[in-house]
Structure 1
Amino acid sequence: MTQTTPVARFALAAALAFTAAPLAAQETDADDPYIWLEEIQGERALAKVDQWNADTEAVLTAQPEYPLAKAWAKQILDDTRQIAMPDAIMGDQVTNLWRDADNPRGLWRIASLDSYMAGAPEWRVLIDVDRLGEEEGESWIWHGADCLAPEYTRCLISLSPGGTDADVVREFDIGTGAFVESGFTLPEAKSNVAWFDRDTLFVGTDEGAGSLTDSGYPRLVKLWQRGTEFAEARQIAEGEQTDISMNGFSILDGDTRWRFVRRGPSFWTSQYSLAREDGTLAPLPLPEDAEFEAVLGGQVIAKLNSAFETPRGVAQPGTLLAWSLEDVLRGSDPDPVVVFRPSETQAIEEVAASENKLWVKVLDDVSGKLIALTPGAEGWAARAMDLPANSTLQIAETSGEGDTAFVTVENMLTPPTLYAVPSEGQPVAIASEPAQFDADKFTFEQKFATSKDGTKVPYYLVRPKGAEGPLPTLIHAYGGFRAAQTPKYLTAEPYRSGPLGLFWVESGNAYVLANIRGGGEYGPRWHEDALRDKRQNSFDDFHAVADDLVANRLASPGRIAASGRSNGGVLVGAVANQRPDLYGAIISGSPLIDMKRYNKLLAGASWMAEYGNPDVPEDWAFMRAWSPYQNMRDGPDVPAAFYYLSTLDDRVHPGHARKAAAKHEAYGQTFYYHEYREGGHSVGSDHEEDAKRAALLLAYLNREIGSGAE
């Protein structure tokens, strides 16, 4: 591999200029010569970032495909023929956040549900986010609205300055179309806020020392009455300093408002309580590792992640159970009822309630299916809905009144279509995105690789039709946090890289989505097989997919790119270190990389149940084997990495990518780097930046593993 970028060209001189210690094992902070890059807004750190950005852009923007790809990406992202997805169904109205070339930050707007379902919504703009930012001198990014049912007149609006996870919360009146004067307002913080009733909020926020957990999230839950100072809010619950977070929330079930408080001792455990009108709490009997899914007909529905003993026998992981909330209020111990049992090849991915139905999205060998469940005297009756097979389904919203689910259906070659799915009758397509390419030019299939321990690992493959022999191949995966990766239209793959997948296959190459362990593709077992000391299974699965492509003459060693984002940064960093013979390029977005210090950086402490605690010697013993940062090594034969991230990411610290880049530079290795100053963990704050990133990544892939690569 040649050192062709300016980033690499001056690597040795730069390394001599700022390396303070030898690049040894770096097992302690004192051993790490690049810890100064963790100073997020540090002058020295940002100067280095600016240099890397400039060097990378100087090379990649000069590539002939860059301006064409950027313009095409912007056109796709700004296409006004996109689906106006429902943010919320509020009685007989629907809201949507609309972004296009004229409104890069978005228009939050409302229309009647009838006009929306007829395919001709009559929108009224409630908040112009771009104009609001200009008027207030803030770079506002929309983070959502929570409108109080059943009137839906008052909403809590969350706005982020620059895209961080921290929000400003302000009360808004839909009737007047304005923020409420002297209404509820919270300053910028990682707050947990929800309606208790019209004049009371559940609030957890940053109140100074002792109010946040070690992970940086609220430790206290308070009830804040309208017209009072927040200092007078009454505390009703508190967690431990070592917890992840605490929050309160409410759900309207028919005419009954059920209120809950959740304590999160770890990332994968929760303790739920039912909050009475006076704020006192009654514990719910859910297992700590169960996932709270919905409330319907006075029952709380949860998904099991481990076997659970019931009076009718043992319920297996992945099963939906229901408990009576009235029994909880009476102080009795309710017997849970089985709602739905997935098969061996199935996993429950989404659950949503409408007025009388429970809607369940199931993955069956990673293909989406939608099931409507109805409670009755003889149990829960199931009806599978008639939607296109071999597709990715997503429940966008359900109607609060009536029983209709709004569901998108797509796959890599088929653009999204939004269906209104009634509980009785047939689904009706109400909006579709236009095709952005000729799908007949490509083949789309699901294949299975065999991992090191014999596990069958599914993956999706797109190639030009009629292509023979190995092609340069981009493999994207995630492999963590129970997050299943399902095939979406190529203009949206891989995640946060816009239409990069489309550009890649249109150039005559192959794109793969790998369903490795750590995700939720096959339920709890698929996730647990990659937890903590089992993490290597996730990396072995990824290698198995790459090896399977090579064995079947679909790809060649060295012409394979590994792509991952966030947790996927751990994945691609590990596989690059372990099998540099296989991979010629690494795309690492908003990545976790230094697993020795991750729990000390921003929200990292909240993920120790997933990875392990590096401060515990027994945990570090297994983490050390795969931590990307600690396993980087000197030498020319390593994949050329591209790191993209945001300075304002307050979830995964930008120091991870910065320190990895510094090591590459010191080793004289080729790498590319693009740190955007806004955008938070999602990186891009507008379509202009998303289009630029897609074009940069295409130019990078062409240079490193494309047909013209050296």
Structure 2
Amino acid sequence: MKFPKWFLLMPLMLGACKSKPLQNNATSEVEDPYLWLEEVEGPKALQFAKDENKKTLDHFKKDPLFKSLEKDIRKIVLAKDRVPDVKLRNGELYNFWQDEKHVRGVWRKATVASYKTGSPKWDVILDLDALAKKENENWVWKGSSELPPKYERTFIHLSRGGKDATVIREFNLKTKEFVKDGFVVPEAKNLLTWKDENTVFVGTDYGPGSMTDSGYARIVKVWKRGTPLSAAQVVNEGQKTDMSVYSWVEFTPEKNYTFHTRRLSFYEGIDWYEDASGKKTQIPMPQDAQFNGVFKDHLLYILRSDLKQFKKGSLVAMPFDKIFDGEKAQDSLQLVFAPTEKKFLQWASSTKSYLMLSTTDNVLAKIVKVTYQGPNKWIQQEVSLGQNGMAVVASTEDTSDNYLAVYTDFLTPSSNFLGNAEDSKNEFTLLKKSPERFNAHGMHTERFEATSKDGTKIPYFVVSKESLKKDGKNPTLLYGYGGFEIPMQPSYNGVLGKVWLEKGGVYVLSNLRGGGEFGPAWHQAVQKENRYKVFEDNIAIAEDLIARKITSPQHLGIRGGSNGGLLTGATFVLRPDLFNAVLCQVPLLDMLRYHKLLAGASWMDEYGNPEDPKMREAILKYSPYQKVDAKTKYPEAFFMTSTKDDRVHPGHARKMVAKMRAQGHPLFYYENTEGGHARTANLEQSILWNTLEFTYLWEKLGNKSNQ
């Protein structure tokens, strides 16, 4: 099962005082003296970044801790015994791999039997380093999309420097070569999907007016092999104010289905089915229902609002033949999964004969297998894997009932398993277990709840040594996201474990409203005019940590990226007295202009429209760039971003740094020239990024005894 997912922001983390009054301190566009920093590759802006980078690097590289941290981090990041992440494709395991010799990376595959051995035999499909050298291009891998059921052709997505914008080229998996005169789409925020071997759907920049305000394709055309792109015919078109449009085929074992979507906004869209004659039928579902593929001739949807007898968060199935009945078709909906107070669905994927559900159960991930046994009969069975961590379906394929699953938690390295949904006992074969990267002996995980300002209980995890003294002196890193219905859940981080937890640091993972830990309602509670509540949640956790004497403001740091960068920026500006370290990464910060920068317009469902006077007033209560002022003392924050980030504009971080510098606030800034929204483009850049992070954190939060 394949279906489009438009998660444009990726997740990347506070004391006992009451919140200070919120005051407007607006900076209008006309008054903003730093708009020139929005010119992404303008000479003056690039020089600004270069000068700031030099100051930051000069400072941290002089710290005696820098070299020792870099050594530990390098050993983990470049470890030769790293377990390759794999995906199932037609019975084989595919992997993209980077190391010292393959800085840009190689795309490769192995058999399941070979992968299980100590030295898998990898068949290299594409060497990105060799390709970049040959073509004199700064290629960064952005994935592939194969054509079922033969899986002999694929589209390779290549980015210059890590941007979301990609060049897409057709590739032959048998000959391991790009297809001569094959499908190629120039650099843009492209859509290219298979209709059949000789026909594709393409959404790209066709010229003025062809992209939405969010920077995505407004027009999709059907393109036949052997013809110029200029000859392609329009099959799907939206409005400039829409988020995007896209078209694709659901390839299932029974038959193929063609769909078109007009994405009105981040959480709303209209879907059509197209038959063999080209006739389109609108699927009679609410605009906020999320399409989740086709299974056994049923269309699957996750509800974001209540519908008839079904609660929001439910997975429902509509028999395909009912879509032609108009709104009456909703009477035929069948319940596949219903949420409970603590259990919610994240997504559904399918094998040849079964649905595999990835769910959260009181934040932790669980796997549920669903068997379809005839009309309106969907039987659930929980698949046990691990105890108190994350058991997730990592990959499925429609050509068999095999699937890959992964188990991990904060203190347990991830293990890859092979399962077969046909097995009634749901037993697994262990394929690979990642080595331990730090000494977790004597460490444990605890869960607490903080009470937010409106009385809502906000859960969070604390990972530390069992011997932790609750004396308020523990270096503590609070990490959070709180947006776009993306849950924050346990995971094993070897670098954090080695250079933070092992040295006595405390790690805190928050489950703020806005995330997907407790279904759509948990997210919807802090959308638009209620956005400020997620910052109150974060502040409540910080105060709770201090009240429990786990830490104190002198030893408390916060980190977050993307939407989490906004969380971090707003929290420290609203309550600077709570923190001594702030890691604000690829952030949104100027919330009066976010909708005018790159993909920002697509997020107005989340944050609201600053052009609306009521929303503008609500945004000004927390927008970091507008609220920061010269009279307040702030912690010495560290802002990090990427020049090539074409999702969240680097101007957010640049302008915040320039304004705070002008106000006399001490801070650090680092702008990676590559990486895009992923921050880094290769392992060497990741090593430097991580080393800067933890050198800063120990410098600000640590006791000498920890170092």
* Bin of the TM-score, shorter chain as denominator length: over 0.9
- The alpha-carbon deviation at position 120 of structure 1 amounts to 6.2
Determine helix, strand or coil for the equivalent of 2:340. Answer: coil
Partner Cα distance (1:381, 1:583) in 2 = 49
Question: Higher mean Cα deviation, 61-70 or 177-186?
Answer: 61-70
Partner Cα distance (2:587, 2:282) in 1 = 38
Partner Cα distance (2:285, 2:440) in 1 = 46
Q: 1:539 to 1:26 in 2, by over 3 A?
A: closer
Question: Higher mean Cα deviation, 275-284 or 620-629?
Answer: 275-284
Q: Which residue of 2 aligns with 1:517?
A: 513
- The alpha-carbon deviation at position 333 of structure 1 amounts to 2.8
Q: 1:447 to 1:502 in 2, by over 3 A?
A: farther
Residues 25 and 31 of structure 1 are in contact (CA less than 8 Å); yes or no, is this contact kept in structure 2?
A: no
Deviations 1:527-570 (A, max 9, x none): 00110111121111111111111111111123211111000111
Deviations 1:567-623 (A, max 9, x none): 011111111111111111111110000001111111111101100111111110101
Q: 1:589 to 1:617 in 2, by over 3 A?
A: same
- In structure 2, what residue type is equivalent to 1:446? R
Q: Which residue of 2 aligns with 1:327?
A: 322
- The alpha-carbon deviation at position 395 of structure 1 amounts to 2.2
2:312 is the alignment partner of 1:317:
yes
Partner Cα distance (2:139, 2:274) in 1 = 34
Question: Higher mean Cα deviation, 183-192 or 327-336?
Answer: 327-336
2:151 is the alignment partner of 1:149:
no
Q: Which residue of 2 aligns with 1:398?
A: 396
Question: 1:582-601 to 2 correspondence within 5 Å?
Answer: 582-601=578-597
Determine helix, strand or coil for the equivalent of 2:535. Answer: helix
Q: Which residue of 2 aligns with 1:496?
A: none
- The alpha-carbon deviation at position 93 of structure 1 amounts to 2.2
Determine helix, strand or coil for the equivalent of 2:336. Answer: strand
- The alpha-carbon deviation at position 507 of structure 1 amounts to 2.1
2:472 is the alignment partner of 1:475:
no
Q: 1:323 to 1:401 in 2, by over 3 A?
A: same
Q: Which residue of 2 aligns with 1:412?
A: 410
- The alpha-carbon deviation at position 220 of structure 1 amounts to 0.8
Partner Cα distance (1:697, 1:337) in 2 = 49
- In structure 2, what residue type is equivalent to 1:297? K
Q: Which residue of 1 aligns with 2:59?
A: 59
Determine helix, strand or coil for the equivalent of 2:53. Answer: helix
Determine helix, strand or coil for the equivalent of 2:435. Answer: coil
Deviations 1:629-663 (A, max 9, x none): 10101136212211111101000100000011012
Q: Which residue of 2 aligns with 1:49?
A: 49
- In structure 2, what residue type is equivalent to 1:134? K
- In structure 2, what residue type is equivalent to 1:347? F
**TM-score (normalised: structure 2):** 0.93
- The alpha-carbon deviation at position 64 of structure 1 amounts to 1.1
2:612 is the alignment partner of 1:616:
yes
Residues 356 and 370 of structure 2 are in contact (CA less than 8 Å); yes or no, is this contact kept in structure 1?
A: yes
Q: 1:115 to 1:327 in 2, by over 3 A?
A: farther
2:432 is the alignment partner of 1:431:
yes
Question: Higher mean Cα deviation, 398-407 or 59-68?
Answer: 398-407
**RMSD of aligned Cα (Å):** 1.7
Residues 453 and 536 of structure 2 are in contact (CA less than 8 Å); yes or no, is this contact kept in structure 1?
A: yes
- The alpha-carbon deviation at position 121 of structure 1 amounts to 4.3
Question: 1:346-425 to 2 correspondence within 5 Å?
Answer: 346-377=343-374, 379-423=377-421, 424=423, 425=425
Q: Which residue of 1 aligns with 2:453?
A: 452
Corresponding residue to 1:635 among 631, 642, 647: 631
Partner Cα distance (1:636, 1:525) in 2 = 36
Question: 1:58-207 to 2 correspondence within 5 Å?
Answer: 58-87=58-87, 89-116=88-115, 121-207=120-206
- In structure 1, what residue type is equivalent to 2:275? R
For structure 2, the residue ranges without an aligned partner over 5 or more in a row are 1-23
Determine helix, strand or coil for the equivalent of 2:103. Answer: strand
Determine helix, strand or coil for the equivalent of 2:448. Answer: strand
Q: Which residue of 1 aligns with 2:254?
A: 255
Q: Which residue of 2 aligns with 1:282?
A: 281
Percent identity (aligned): 36
Partner Cα distance (1:550, 1:408) in 2 = 35
Deviations 1:257-297 (A, max 9, x none): 11211111011111111122344321112221111122110
Corresponding residue to 1:566 among 552, 562, 569: 562
Deviations 1:466-522 (A, max 9, x none): 12122121000000001101111122xxxxxxx245412222121101110100000
2:601 is the alignment partner of 1:605:
yes
Question: Higher mean Cα deviation, 512-521 or 271-280?
Answer: 271-280
- In structure 1, what residue type is equivalent to 2:528? R
Residues 500 and 694 of structure 1 are in contact (CA less than 8 Å); yes or no, is this contact kept in structure 2?
A: no
Residues 160 and 166 of structure 1 are in contact (CA less than 8 Å); yes or no, is this contact kept in structure 2?
A: yes
2:335 is the alignment partner of 1:338:
yes
- In structure 1, what residue type is equivalent to 2:433? S
Determine helix, strand or coil for the equivalent of 1:681. Answer: helix
Partner Cα distance (1:538, 1:514) in 2 = 11
Determine helix, strand or coil for the equivalent of 1:555. Answer: coil
Determine helix, strand or coil for the equivalent of 1:446. Answer: strand
Residues 73 and 691 of structure 1 are in contact (CA less than 8 Å); yes or no, is this contact kept in structure 2?
A: yes
Determine helix, strand or coil for the equivalent of 1:657. Answer: helix
- In structure 2, what residue type is equivalent to 1:488? S
Deviations 1:445-475 (A, max 9, x none): 2222221122111111111221212212100
Question: How many pairs are equivalent?
Answer: 674
Determine helix, strand or coil for the equivalent of 1:258. Answer: strand
Residues 119 and 431 of structure 1 are in contact (CA less than 8 Å); yes or no, is this contact kept in structure 2?
A: no
- The alpha-carbon deviation at position 74 of structure 1 amounts to 2.0
Residues 163 and 678 of structure 1 are in contact (CA less than 8 Å); yes or no, is this contact kept in structure 2?
A: yes
- The alpha-carbon deviation at position 114 of structure 1 amounts to 4.5
Q: Which residue of 2 aligns with 1:484?
A: 487
Residues 439 and 498 of structure 2 are in contact (CA less than 8 Å); yes or no, is this contact kept in structure 1?
A: no
Q: Which residue of 2 aligns with 1:12?
A: none
- RCO greater where, 1 or 2, for CA within 8 Å and sep 6 or more? 2
Residues 412 and 489 of structure 1 are in contact (CA less than 8 Å); yes or no, is this contact kept in structure 2?
A: yes
Determine helix, strand or coil for the equivalent of 2:329. Answer: coil
Partner Cα distance (1:72, 1:258) in 2 = 50
- In structure 1, what residue type is equivalent to 2:654? R
Q: Which residue of 1 aligns with 2:20?
A: none
- The alpha-carbon deviation at position 26 of structure 1 amounts to 4.6
Residues 97 and 107 of structure 1 are in contact (CA less than 8 Å); yes or no, is this contact kept in structure 2?
A: yes
2:494 is the alignment partner of 1:503:
no
